[in-house]
Amino acid sequence: MKNRFRIALVAGTTVAMLALVGHASADLIFFDDFEGGADPAWSDGGTDVTPVGQREFLGRLHDGAVSLTLSDLPPHTELGLSFDLFVIGLWDGNESPDIWGASADGGLPFILTTFRNETPGDGDGFQAYPDFWPGGEHPARTGASENDTLGYDADAVYHLSYTIPHTAGDVVYYFFGFPDLAEEDWGLDNVSVTPEPCTAVLIGLGVVSLFSRRRW
């Protein structure tokens, strides 16, 4: 009974510490809000400022890709990426299709989808997001965190987060879009990269080893 109690105590303490420390010390290794210009880690550092709110962002981009290269990453098993995607202009979703995606290290895209910016009632077309394209059929602007806040003819902001298995010391993220018309553009803002797990796992292991040592 004593041993069982001790094991339960160790497990409980470890889980609690993991939750606490893991939350507090997610070691952010990259953040760019593009205010004052883009970080040199971007392949194309051109920025623009939104007509409303004067938010500086990476773009405006049209057909093509931009990459983010990060080196000397701390030890990790997963990489978390989050960013705001600006969808600018009257994107047509599945109709064109107006495709947007992102991938890492030349692997398969972790997002490959379409966006549609028509206002509800303007036509009956769909966008694939939040699903992959082809496949999803959702109303325009589904999942957008902001609508028409940037000051363009039509715009939407999507806050996107993806975690991928990853162990290498370097990473190259690719962001690409292929809307077909000149007035359909996109941009990125508030891009962050976080390696997981962080130091929490090491601290958790330390707690376990401390308790087993006391037992002997």
Residues at the interface with Ca ion (CB under 5 A):
33-34, 55-56, 90, 92, 96, 98, 180-181, 189
Q: Are 51 and 151 in contact (CB under 8 A)?
A: yes
Please state the closest distance from residue 202 (CB atom) to Ca ion, in A. Answer: 34
Nearer to Ca ion, 184 or 196 (CB): 184
Q: Which residue has the tokens 């983010």?
A: 68
Q: How far is the CB of 24 from Ca ion (least distance, A)?
A: 26
Yes or no: say if 208 and 10 are a contact pair by the CB < 8 Å rule.
yes
Shorter beta-carbon distance to Ca ion: residue 117 or 194: 117
Name which of 76 and 116 has its Cβ closer to Ca ion.
116
The three-state (H, E, C) secondary structure of the chain, written as one string? CHHHHHHHHHHHHHHHHHHHHHHHCCCCCEEECCCCCCCCCECCCCEEECCCCCCEEEEEECCEEEEEEECCCCCCCEEEEEEEEEEECCCEHHHCCCEEEEEECCCCCCEEEECECCCCECECCCECCCCCCCCCCECCCCCCCEECCCCCCCEEEEEEEEEEECCCCCEEEEEEEECCCCCCEEEEEEEEEEEECCCHHHHHHHHHHHHHHHHC
> What's the min distance (Å) between Cβ of 117 and Ca ion?
8
Between 22 and 45, whose beta carbon lies closer to Ca ion? 45
* Residue with Cβ nearer Ca ion (127 or 142): 127
Which residue, 73 or 99, has its beta carbon nearer to Ca ion?
99
In whole angstroms, how close is the CB of 47 to Ca ion at the nearest point?
Answer: 8
Min CB(89)–Ca ion separation in Å:
7
At closest approach, how far in Å is the CB of 155 from Ca ion? 13
